[in-house]
Structure 1
């Protein structure tokens, strides 16, 4: 390389590097900051018995708590949301089952506690249950969970569980 051009090229490269650093810094300042697990939109890492942990030691996690538990007005809104989000398209009207399992019979593949239902709706499950966490806020998910937990379990189930027999 020519001795007179080398300093110009080096200066140009340094200028481009400085511009890239400045752009990266500006982008970092505009990027959303990491939030703790107590944010309304991001559920904390949780721990419950339905999880299967490698090595037999589940990671430490918090406990999700439904802020609307037992609230009949929120349950009524949850019924409307269940329909509006087309949950009844798979789980049937009244969540009694259709192409997807009944959510009103008291039997749950991935756990029927409120925090487990939240995880199922928010993150989805294999073989058919889509994740709604990108479409619904945490409060909306809790609203649907409140509705599901308000459904009366029928006295006479049409089928019996074969697990443990």
Structure 2
């Protein structure tokens, strides 16, 4: 009788621990991009919403977009395009470790609080150098502010800077967009 009760308690505890692990894994999946394992758009939106009305200090933000993904997909297939996205994500995450969000197909955002201006821009320089070495073309817009009252406004400015660089990429490479 005593053995059966211990066995029953063990089964209940084990089952409870398994449910807890499953719940944690589901939460992980809801915040992580399956292709890159970076934070996903859900986590990005939750962060932005959570920071509304808060003042941020010594913060760098960057919008990063891959150049030529459509051409890679068209010429080499979507598996090659996915590999390009994964490789770019690995480089970005290596430099900005866990401050990176994949918010769209080939769009990434970095939000790095409590970082010195020089360090942030040094990391952006390293990012560009590493992307060049890996033969990954990106357009990026980056902004650092000592104090931010409206994160969304700063993100929009970084996005605009990225699009200016993207337009230059298209102009220089004589790529005509539809």
Q: TM range, normalised to the smaller chain? A: 0.3 to 0.5
Q: Which has the higher contact order (CA 8 A, sep 6+)?
A: 2
TM-score by length of 2: 0.30
Q: Normalising by the residue count of structure 1, what TM-score does the alignment of the two structures yield?
A: 0.32
Q: Which has the higher strand share?
A: 2
The structure with the larger Rg is 1
Task: Report which of the two has the higher share of helix.
Answer: 2
